[in-house]
Structure 1
Amino acid sequence: MSYGEAFFNILLIAACCYAMYSLTPADNPYGYVAAAFCFVHGFLDLLQAFAAEESDECSPILVLSASIIAAILLPLANIEFYLKSDMSGVALVHMMSFIPLLYDMLGKMCDDWDAATDTLNELVLTGNVLSISFLAVQTGNPMYGGIAAIAFFGRYGSELIDKFVDGLGPYISTLSNAAVIGLMTYSLTQG
């Protein structure tokens, strides 16, 4: 059992519970869906952390759900933020961020993975970080800038930290997802 993995997944589950309690599916459907996906992923990862044996039965499901979370979390948050702003038409652009997710899922499920899919996912993430940073400047909301910084650090900082401290990267990524969910919920409910 990995206590670190369990701790960070409990933080993710707690952030998702806060989001699903505070947001309503009728008012914030995209934020609610992001929280629900992260909750399921955190719960599955928590079950794997507490498994008595290190079984690989859940590993393909966890890899698939981790790639889904990496691809949808920030675009769904951006959709919510843009629908709330004066530039609601830009939310449609963020819905196109799910096209690389389709290719990624098909590649991982059919064992036909291509490195170009990872490059496309990196471009989509970078575009979403730039988009939310632009919205932070336009609306004067520093919370959006914080979400952009956390999402960027969670993706690229976790890889950098993992090179120095082996095995710490996934924990940073899970903590980043929890922080994005929590800050998204706070900014949607308080703003």
Structure 2
Amino acid sequence: MNALFIFLISFLSLGEISLDPIEPPVQETLTQYYFIRHAEKDESNPQDRDPQLSEVGRERAAKWAEIFKDVEFDLIFSSNYKRTNSTAKAIADSQEKAVEIYDPKKLNDPDFQEKTKGKTVLVVGHSNTNPAFVNLVLEEKKHQDLDEKEYGSLFIVTVTPGGERTSQVLYIN
């Protein structure tokens, strides 16, 4: 009986035994942002502050959709202009996604950061807002406004779970 008592005490002192599987630690993922400028706008009416895309612009928007066919976006954002919406919509439609409107006056605010954390995100903006947005995400002033005639710039910004931020710019013309 002494041996059985010692065995039980020893067994119980091993600690709690659980039959539940061990949960692996949650791994945070990269956040990746792709910033493009809207495609070429119709400039036939210089007074129009919100023009549609030109024919060349519609072709470029379709080209962007083709370029991004292998990038699965979680979120697609556009400023609230016809030219940015049309550019974003070409890509969103090809991926069966919705386009969300962002406020260029609230670039990279805490709500945007939280909503996009760990996601792959497309932002369609303008020659001045894209570099400003990229700089805010990078937390440094690295990029200048784009030339008004530059429509093929692609900024790619990566934020690691540890907070390291990198960027690159490609020109697809």
> TM-score, with normalisation over the residues of structure 1?
0.24
Higher strand share: 2
Q: Which has the larger radius of gyration?
A: 2
Higher helix share: 1
> TM-score, with normalisation over the residues of structure 2?
0.25
